Amino acid sequence: MAGIDPNRTFIPVRIAVLTMSDTRSASEDKSGDLLAKLITEAGHVVADRKLVRDDANAITAAVKGWIDDSQIDCVITTGGTGFTGRDVTPEAVKPLFEKDIEGFSILFHMLSYQKVGTSTVQSRACAGVAHGTYIFCLPGSPGACRDAWDGILKFQFDARHQPCNFVEIMPRLEEHRNAG
């Protein structure tokens, strides 16, 4: 049965939050604010937070910087996952992935469909792993961020969640680099 095993120890995860927007300032970043609040309430650490314009190079640079930072376990981005001309988050981030987390997108769309129906098709939410860092690209709406956190991420980033979770495999994400 899926659920929290109270006999296991909670382990805080260090998460960076990146918001993409051409129209909002940091003081108007409702999705980033919500993610930071949910992360903190769950017992994790907001290790860093930035807002960048919808520019592929700026997005790639911010995410790559966090991938290279050993103090960051996970990056969650919000915004730029649609398919208008300025929506470039997947194009900027997916090339960094060493492995896709395909099930995240599927599960996100299943949850989103329950709230927004067929409009979920307009999101290119995606996830992957790069150099031992989890990366999740979420839509820019607070509702979508809440759906992703409450429906998926808060469980997968809880080491007590069974039958499995992202935290328990974190030490093994880089084992292929250590083989020799």
Contact 96, 128 (CB under 8 A): yes
Any long-range contacts for 25-34 (C-beta under 8 Å, 24+ apart)? Answer: 25/51, 26/51, 30/142, 31/78, 31/79, 31/138, 31/140, 31/141, 31/142, 31/144, 31/145, 32/78, 34/142, 34/145, 34/146
Residue 94 and residue 128: Cα distance in Å, rounded? 8
Copy the structure tokens of residue 132: 């031992």
Residues 103-155: tens digit of each pLDDT: 999 999 999 999 999 999 999 999 999 999 999 999 999 999 999 999 999 99
Q: pLDDT-based confidence at 24, cuts 50/70/90?
A: confident
The residue among 34, 92, 86, 84 whose CA lies nearest residue 58 is: 92
Residue 104 and residue 119: Cα distance in Å, rounded? 18
Residues 79-111: tens digit of each pLDDT: 999 999 899 999 999 999 999 999 999 999 999
The better pLDDT of the pair 22, 72 is held by: 72
pLDDT of residue 173 exceeding 70: yes
